[in-house]
């Protein structure tokens, strides 16, 4: 089953859509459908904020010299003193 929607574009966006559609030899509506489908699938989905945060944590952890377990043990030892 398919569903029809109305998409309102300003003149510049519609002109760009027409240009791209002409270059691909498809109708503007077909290209719009392709673009929406790509945006809703993992093909074009950018990484989530959580994935970016995890990436930053991994990068930071690599910058910490030495063994993490050893670092925690030394920190606990320092607190107990």
Locate the domains of the chain by residue range. 1-45, 48-81
The sign of the torsion formed by the CA atoms of 3, 28, 36, 49 equals: negative
Q: Which residues of 34-51 are buried (b: 16+ CB within 10 A; e: fewer)?
A: eeeeeeeeeeeeeeeeee
Per residue of the chain (81 residues), what is the pLDDT tens digit?
989 999 898 899 999 999 999 999 999 999 999 988 887 876 555 667 777 777 777 777 776 666 777 777 777 777 766
Q: Residues 52-62: pLDDT tens digits?
A: 777 777 777 77
Threshold 0.95, pTM exceeds: no
Token reading at 16 = 């760009």
What's the rounded Cα separation, in Å, for the pair 55 and 51? Answer: 6
């Amino acid at each position: 089953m398919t569903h029809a929607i109305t998409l309102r574009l300003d003149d510049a966006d519609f002109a760009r859509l027409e240009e791209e559609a002409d270059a691909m030899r498809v109708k503007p509506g077909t290209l719009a459908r392709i673009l929406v489908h790509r945006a809703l699938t993992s093909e074009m989905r950018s990484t989530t904020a959580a994935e970016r945060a995890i990436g930053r944590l991994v990068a930071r952890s690599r910058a910490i010299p030495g063994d993490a377990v050893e670092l925690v043990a030394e920190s606990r030892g320092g607190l107990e003193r």
